[in-house]
Amino acid sequence: MAKQTITVFGATGKQGGSIVKSILEDPKASSQFQVRAVTRDASKDSAKSLASLGAEVVTADFNDKDSLHAAIKGSWGVFSVTNFWEVFSADAEEAQGKAVADVSKAEGVKFLIWSSLFDVNKLSNGVLPGVYHFDGKARVEEYIRGLGIPAAYFHAGFFMSNLPGQFFRDNGDGNWALALPAPADAPIPFFDAEADTGKFVKAMFLNHEKVSGKRIYGATNYTTPTEIIDQFKEIFPNTGKKTVFAQLPADVFKGIMAGTGAPEPIQEAMVQNFRLLKEFGYFGNDKLDYSLSVCTCTFVSPFIDHSLTMAPKLLTEEPTTWKEFAKRQPVFAGLN
Ligand SMILES: NC(=O)c1ccc[n+]([C@@H]2O[C@H](COP(=O)([O-])OP(=O)(O)OC[C@H]3O[C@@H](n4cnc5c(N)ncnc54)[C@H](OP(=O)(O)O)[C@@H]3O)[C@@H](O)[C@H]2O)c1
């Protein structure tokens, strides 16, 4: 049987790149699917390395509909992720996401996976109206649901890669600190986007009928800042003796962001994004059981979701833990 083509947008980035690798390096998935990897610049190294893995690399731009038709034509499946941090506008991100959805429908795509997030304004009843990088993606999810095409929604958790050398850094004196505008017990849905997006999304494509219409949450678990520090101390007991968590007041955090050139709405968006964790839940306080059972059957329990006990084993790749992730971070190299 001819292989089905899956077109992956954002293929040179963290989420899309993980999916391309995960499918092409998996004997079962690569016997069923071929991958078309989309970039705006096929000459760059990240695009060339996708080609060397066996992906068909094509160029397209979310802002150019003709290029989207050419990239999507003949595809059985599409994965789409937009990059808020390039456009800095929920409206622009929404237009890009909707364009891929419209073209997917027009080209007869059989399964679309949209990298979505919650509408925080709605979830918080207007208390957190400024988390633009979530709300625009949620509007695209709502739009796709209305289009009536077979689709599912991958909600990426908080990237572990946001921490090392950024929110979790050496103060300059060998003492490490995690500093966030969130309380020590805020539940963070922790996610290794580069290693694990493919584990979840590949499982979604392979089991598209089961996950159609559903949200799948990309996260290993909920981890609090206290637990992040505790586990860091277990890996690096010597360094860990002086490692602390500091909850930053919103104005201090905004001042730090202002120092990096971030405009006020983006500073406020990030403050509200961190408030979301404890006040309303990054995933609206949903449990991860169903999503993890898609990723690995070891979490399946007859007491959690009865329908899943009937499901065959879907995938056996465990998502990455913070300890595993931290041990291989270059900025932590040499710590003991
Ligand atoms: N950081 C977090 O904790 C977190 C959590 C959940 C969700 N997110 C979301 O993740 C998204 C970014 O995903 P990522 O980290 O996987 O991406 P990334 O590593 O930043 O890479 C961005 C990708 O988007 C592609 N792209 C950007 N503009 C494009 C355009 N106009 N046309 C076609 N392709 C375009 C780029 O392709 P080329 O440059 O090769 O063309 C690249 O592959 C953001 O929207 C963010 O809100 C982040």
For tokens 């040179």, the residue is 12
Residue closest via CA to ligand 1's atom 45 equals 83
Mean pLDDT of 105-116: 98
- Residues 6 or more apart whose CB falls under 8 angstroms from that of 144 comprise 101, 112, 114, 151, 153
Residue 57 resides in a domain: yes
Q: How confident is the prediction for the chain on average, in pLDDT?
A: 94
Q: How large a percentage of the chain has pLDDT more than 70?
A: 93
Ligand 1 centroid to Cα of residue 90, in Å, is: 14
Residue 325 resides in a domain: no
Region of 193 on the Ramachandran plot (φ > 0 left; ψ -120 to 50 alpha; else beta): alpha
Answering whether pTM is above 0.85, one says: yes
Ligand 1, pocket residues at CB < 6 Å: 9-16, 39-41, 61-63, 81-86, 117, 133, 156, 158-159, 162, 193
Q: Which amino acid is it at 130?
A: G
Cβ neighbours around 257 below 10 Å, total: 19
Ligand 1 centroid to Cα of residue 86, in Å, is: 8
Residue 266 resides in a domain: no
| 137 sits in which H/E element | helix 132-147
Query: Could you write out the DSSP letters of every residue in 312-326?
Result: PP--BPPPPPHHHHH
- Residue 307 pLDDT > 50, yes or no? no
Ligand 1 centroid to Cα of residue 10, in Å, is: 6
Ligand 1 centroid to Cα of residue 124, in Å, is: 25
Q: How large a percentage of the chain has pLDDT more than 90?
A: 90
Could you tell me the two tokens for 75?
């595809």
Residue 260 resides in a domain: no
| 271 sits in which H/E element | helix 264-279
- Find the CATH number of the domain harbouring 69: 3.40.50.720
- Alpha-carbon Rg for the chain, nearest whole angstrom, is 20
Predicted pLDDT of residue 333:
95
Predicted pLDDT of residue 76:
98
Ligand 1 atom nearest residue 87's Cα: 28
- Residue 77 pLDDT > 90, yes or no? yes
Q: What is the DSSP letter of 297?
A: G
Residue 188 resides in a domain: no
The domain total for the chain is: 1
Cα angle vertex 283, ends 84, 162, to 5°?
A: 50
Residue whose CB lies within 8 A of the most ligand 1 atoms, among 59, 81, 166, 322, for a mutation test: 81
Predicted pLDDT of residue 306:
45
d(CA 145, CA 126): 23
Predicted pLDDT of residue 1:
78
- Residue 308 pLDDT > 50, yes or no? no
Residue 112 resides in a domain: yes
Predicted pLDDT of residue 310:
44
**pLDDT tens for residues 149-202?**
999 999 999 999 999 999 999 988 889 999 999 999 999 999 999 999 999 999
Predicted pLDDT of residue 316:
64
Ligand 1 atom nearest residue 9's Cα: 34
Mean pLDDT of 26-45: 97
Mean pLDDT of 249-256: 97
Residue 330 resides in a domain: no
- Residues 6 or more apart whose CB falls under 8 angstroms from that of 266 comprise 88, 257
Q: What is the DSSP letter of 118?
A: -
In the three-class reduction of DSSP (H, G, I as helix; E, B as strand; rest coil), residue 242 is classed as coil
Residue 205 resides in a domain: yes
Structural domain that includes position 213: 4-157+193-219+285-319
Query: Could you write out the DSSP letters of every residue in 164-232?
Result: BTTTEEE-SSS-EEEEESS-TT--EEEE-HHHHHHHHHHHHHHTHHHHTT-EEEE-SEEE-HHHHHHHH
Predicted pLDDT of residue 315:
56
